[in-house]
Chains A and B, each alone.
Chain A
Amino acid sequence: MIENALRGDKRYWTWVSALGAVVLVGVYFWFRQFHLGLTITGLSRDVVWGFYIAQFTFLVGVAASAVMVVLPYYLHNYKQFGKLTILGEFLAIAAVIMCMAFIFVDMGQPFRIGNVFLHPSPNSMMFWDTVSVFGYLFLNIIISRVTFRAEKKGVKPPNWIRPIIILSIPWAISIHTVTAFLYSGLAGRPFWLSAVMAPRFLATAFSAGPALLVLIMLVLRKISSFDAGKEPIRKLAIIIMYAMALNVFFLLMEIFTASYSGMPEHIDHFKFLYFGLDGYTTMVPWMWGSAILAVFSLILLFNPKTRNNETFLAWACVAVFASIWIDKGLGMVVTGFTPNPFGTVTPYSPTFPEVMISLAIYAIGALIVTFLYKVALSVRARMGQGYEAAH
């Protein structure tokens, strides 16, 4: 089965080597970072978490989103998602591995990471986040392996896997909830101190993740023999629409609470994001960009004519993904540190090595998705008509 990842045409190998090259560049910079310390990043005494942790947070959402194809199929018997569940789980596996890599590169002493298990500290949300993320990876590896083997043999998956699949549904919710708790339980960081953070994280996860899945499906239809079909993509579009609408709704809740109460320590963060604070305006164009993309995507998604048109839907998905990536991958983490505990602004932007290391991790994720999808789709292609007839 695995050998399918090693067989491919020129286009396949070009793609794989391009990703490999990005990984190599990132590994070089990681060795420099390991040698010199995190001083080569843009992080500082006041802004101690930045691009890495933001990507981790964003990707936990992508990982959790697999539940949006698993849940309708297994709980509501929505057969149309039958061919997608495995692809959703493979995407989750890649996303979780990227999450772990981002944590690894962010640690000051990465090779002491085992201390989290040697000295388990249930009072720390980071302990629970580690447990839930590791558990989620484990669940998805087991589930995808067992169900795909059954599919390959043309038999039903064994009964014992079903409770594990059902468990993976609340587990997916939990990984992003606990990730939100990393932030939302800190008295000293008013920007994150919000009960709506976990729900909003889930809304962003269930819009950005499925949006990525739709885009991958549309690409796969072009470059492979796999066609997800029109109906599942339309259903995913509806999921993306509701989740994105909820995301924007939750954001407006945050803005209302901060601005109507007028409490400086709450409103200052939003001033920094959308108007700039003390003359620091780096985030302003990004955040307005994110807002415009969100509105644009919702217009395309609300209107059934554009939503059911795959070209418009592709644009809507790009807009959803970009809007949420800016919000979570750029704005959310750094704004928690701005202003700092002394009421002043310490600017942060990622450095070149930091961005290259991050790109390498994304490339590793893309390679994992490529290999896993290649294996799955090659097996399915060979089963060919037999598979179609059986389902």
Chain B
Amino acid sequence: MSVDRRQFVRLAGTAALGLAAAPAAKLIASQEETASSEVMHEASLPTGEPKTAERWAMVIDLKKCAGHEGCTKCIDACHDSHNVPDFGNDKDEIKWLWKESFGHAFHEQDLDYVSDELKHRPTLMLCNHCDNPACVRVCPTGATWKREDGIVMMDWHRCIGCRYCVVACPYGSRSFNYRDPRPFIDEINEEFPTRMRGVVEKCTFCEELLAKGQMPKCVDACEAGALVFGDLEDPNSNVSQLLHEQFAIRRKPALGTQPEVYYLV
């Protein structure tokens, strides 16, 4: 194979460029990473094998939950670890996990003749991590997307705060930072980023903990065992078993969003 001088120069040039570009790209990438999650990195070194699944899902047993009246352990654990602020008013409120009455959560159901107890039974609300998420479809910047394991994610650095995802979500699961949340966080958890005003946020099934091999905070915090989390594609997982044995309902199934949070009534 003969290589004339011009070809050789071209080849050498390309190779040199490539050699120079690779570390530069790495450097840029690492800088971006540290900029976006400086505090997160050192503290969140993997402590266990990451938990993986084909399709994450959650089953919530409302009876077990109702047995612990006034308990807010899961909500506190979630909001404390994710730096969710408390503004003390409904208008600006941010919530990832909260309780609604069953009557409100399932208001389109025919509830005329059910007991008052059921109508008022506290029902945990969170992002449904839909298989067919309307929020992801409408986002104009790709700031919210669905992972292969079904978790619906948020990029707080890309979000422009147009709130179209909040409009599209049929479940009221998303919150918008109407003001700077930082002064309203009791104690900042250094292992998780805080947000700035003007972006949307919601539950992410504690993907940051799953990556470290831990269960979501709310599941760990629940002493009643009312929250069950697992892989829906695995027939032997606890969630699959529960859904097989008992009749569970989902919110607004007629909309075709395929929510992945199931309720045992």
Contact = CB atoms under 8 A, between A and B. Distances in A.
Given A39-B197, A109-B199, A344-B104, 15 more contacts: A39-B91, A44-B178, A45-B90, A45-B92, A45-B172, A108-B198, A112-B159, A115-B141, A126-B162, A186-B134, A186-B138, A187-B255, A187-B257, A265-B108, A336-B167
A267 B201 CA distance: 31
Contact of A37 (B100, B160, B198): B198
Interface in A100-154: 106-110, 112-113, 115-116, 118-119, 121, 123-127, 130
A248 B138 CA distance: 30
Nearest to A45: B93
B194 interface: no
6 contacts: A38-B198, A49-B167, A106-B162, A126-B162, A188-B169, A343-B104
Interface in A326-356: 336-337, 340-344, 346
A39 B256 CA distance: 33
B106 to A, nearest CB: 9
Contact of B160 (A46, A113, A186): A113
Interface residues of A, number: 43
B167 A107 contact: no
A84 B135 CA distance: 43
Nearest to A341: B172
A36 interface: yes
B185 to A, nearest CB: 16
A363 to B, nearest CB: 24
A124 B139 contact: yes
A38 B257 CA distance: 29
Nearest to A114: B160
B161 A109 contact: yes
Report, nearest first, the 8 A-B pairs whose CB atoms are least far apart: A108-B161, A188-B170, A108-B198, A343-B107, A341-B172, A126-B140, A37-B197, A39-B178
B258 to A, nearest CB: 12
B51 interface: no
A346 to B, nearest CB: 8
A335 to B, nearest CB: 13
Interface of B: 90-95, 100, 104-105, 107-108, 134, 137-143, 158-164, 166-172, 175-180, 197-200, 252, 255-257
A16 B94 CA distance: 43
Contacts of B95: 45
Among A43, A46, A188, A344, find the residue whose CB has the most chain B CB atoms closer than 10 A: A188
Nearest to B200: A108
Contacts of B163: 48-49, 108
B160 A108 contact: yes
Interface of A: 36-39, 43-46, 48-49, 106-110, 112-113, 115-116, 118-119, 121, 123-127, 130, 182, 186-189, 264-265, 336-337, 340-344, 346
A188 B255 contact: yes
Nearest to B108: A265
A112 B90 contact: no
Contact of B100 (A39, A116, A342): A342
B108 to A, nearest CB: 7
A37 B255 CA distance: 33
A341 B162 contact: no
B140 A108 contact: no
Contacts of B137: 123-124
Contacts of A189: 167-168, 170
Contacts of A48: 163, 166-167, 176
B73 to A, nearest CB: 23
A221 B168 CA distance: 47
B160 A43 contact: no
A343 B141 contact: no
